[in-house]
């Protein structure tokens, strides 16, 4: 039996992840060492676009939606320069273990590879989709095709569109047909397993408009893909582009009466990356790859802006926070992180 937690104003929830995006760029903008390293930069105008003299100016020019709307009306956790920390608890510091921790609340050491088979742990979206009020009203759009395993599509029954996959549905619109047609001509610059965000985002947005899901998970991949390629200019462009997509998404939500003022948006990342020349990669042996961040905006979350007091959050707290935002107590047989109360109460 599900015990209802306290009443929340949140009726719908959108969760967005930026794969492998460092807190450093989110809170301090372009990195001085990396933007000046020719090994990682090809664009001649990258400094015109993203270099400014102070961290406050740099972060704002890189991610204007985060540092205008979310900073004014929402919450931003993870600026380690002021002692506000967020870390993963899993010992691996890469994607599948991170998303498992994020959505099951349990940093299971058995999930030790990005090739791990379908996840044995129940995730919060699966749990929500099984509640009568939310049945068939949860959807997932993702760049990386590993989400079929991470969220265990077969067991969970979640509708997932991930990787270079056509959108399928009973009432497919002309726009959805067009997006499917266009997708096949887009170069697979990260290979066959990872779809670029500029294809994933319009599909997700069109689904929101047509189907009005109560819970949507949107998983971006560009930041991590360009990080692994060692292209810091394109990594910055990816961050800027994703900020634009998230701004467009929030403006859409606030323009649609179904979502307006009763929808919470959470944005986070699965893992960090190294510093200096190690920024390209992330794993246990590289310091800082366990460092993550979290943003929230919605009717239940006080406008704290950038949280500048010392504190410590963990990735395993996100799953229960997602449940509680819509008044559900997500529990499993595993020990889980506690919900983040400051997101839940105005």
Residues near Zn ion (CB under 5 A) are: 20, 224
Q: Write down the least CB distance from residue 67 to Zn ion, Å.
A: 25
What token pair was written down for 289?
């790859």
Least separation in angstroms between CB 20 and Zn ion: 5
What is the smallest separation between the CB atom of 324 and Zn ion, expressed in angstroms?
A: 29
Give Cα 152 to chain centroid, integer Å.
Answer: 18
- Please, which residue, 233 or 270, has the CB nearer to Zn ion? 270
Residue at shortest CB range from Zn ion: 224
Q: Which is nearer to Zn ion, 205 or 271 (CB)?
A: 271
CA distances from 101 to 73, 221, 263, 273, 297 (A): 27, 18, 23, 17, 22
Residue with tokens 């994703």: 242
Considering the complex, state which of residue 136 and residue 287 has its C-beta at the smaller distance from Zn ion.
287
With respect to Zn ion, which residue has the nearer C-beta, 58 or 282? 282
CA distance 79 to 23: 7
Tokens 């704002």 identify what position? 60
| Residue in 272, 227, 311 with CA at minimum distance from that of residue 93 | 272
Are residues 326 and 98 in contact, defined by beta-carbon separation less than 8 angstroms? no
Q: Rounded to an integer, what is the distance from CA 313 to the centroid of its chain?
A: 16
Considering the complex, what minimum distance in angstroms separates the CB of residue 228 from Zn ion? 6
Please say which residue, 224 or 290, places its beta carbon nearer to Zn ion: 224
The minimum distance between CB 282 and Zn ion, in angstroms, equals: 6
């Amino acid at each position: 039996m599900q015990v209802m937690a306290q009443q929340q104003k949140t009726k719908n929830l959108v969760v967005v992840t930026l794969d492998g995006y460092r807190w450093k760029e989110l809170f301090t903008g372009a990195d001085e060492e990396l933007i000046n390293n020719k090994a990682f930069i090809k664009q001649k105008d990258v400094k015109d676009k993203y270099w400014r003299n102070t961290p406050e100016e740099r972060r704002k020019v890189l991610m204007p939606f985060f540092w205008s709307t979310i900073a004014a009306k929402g919450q931003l956790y993870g600026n380690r320069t002021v002692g506000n920390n967020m870390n993963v608890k899993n010992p691996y510091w890469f994607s599948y273990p991170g998303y498992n921790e994020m959505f099951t609340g349990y940093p299971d050491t058995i999930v030790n590879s990005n090739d791990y088979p379908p996840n044995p742990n129940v995730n919060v979206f699966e749990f929500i989709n099984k509640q009568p009020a939310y049945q068939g009203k949860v959807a997932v759009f993702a760049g990386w095709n590993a989400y079929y395993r991470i969220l265990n599509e077969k067991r969970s029954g979640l509708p997932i569109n991930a990787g270079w996959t056509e959108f399928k549905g009973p009432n497919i619109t002309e726009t959805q047909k067009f997006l499917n047609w266009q997708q096949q001509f887009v170069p697979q610059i990260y290979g066959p397993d990872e779809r670029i965000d500029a294809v994933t985002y319009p599909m997700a947005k069109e689904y929101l408009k047509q189907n009005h899901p109560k819970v949507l998970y949107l998983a971006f991949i560009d930041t991590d893909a360009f990080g692994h390629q060692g292209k810091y200019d394109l990594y910055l462009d990816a961050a800027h582009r994703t900020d634009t997509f998230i701004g467009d998404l929030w403006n859409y939500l606030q323009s649609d009466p179904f979502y307006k003022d009763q929808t919470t948006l959470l944005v986070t990342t699965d893992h960090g990356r190294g510093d200096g020349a190690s920024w390209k990669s992330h794993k246990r042996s590289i310091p800082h790859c366990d460092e993550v961040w979290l943003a929230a905006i919605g009717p239940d979350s006080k406008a704290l802006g950038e949280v500048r007091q010392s504190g410590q959050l963990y990735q395993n707290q996100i799953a229960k926070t997602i449940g509680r935002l819509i008044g559900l107590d997500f529990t499993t047989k595993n020990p889980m992180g506690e919900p983040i109360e400051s997101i839940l109460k105005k």
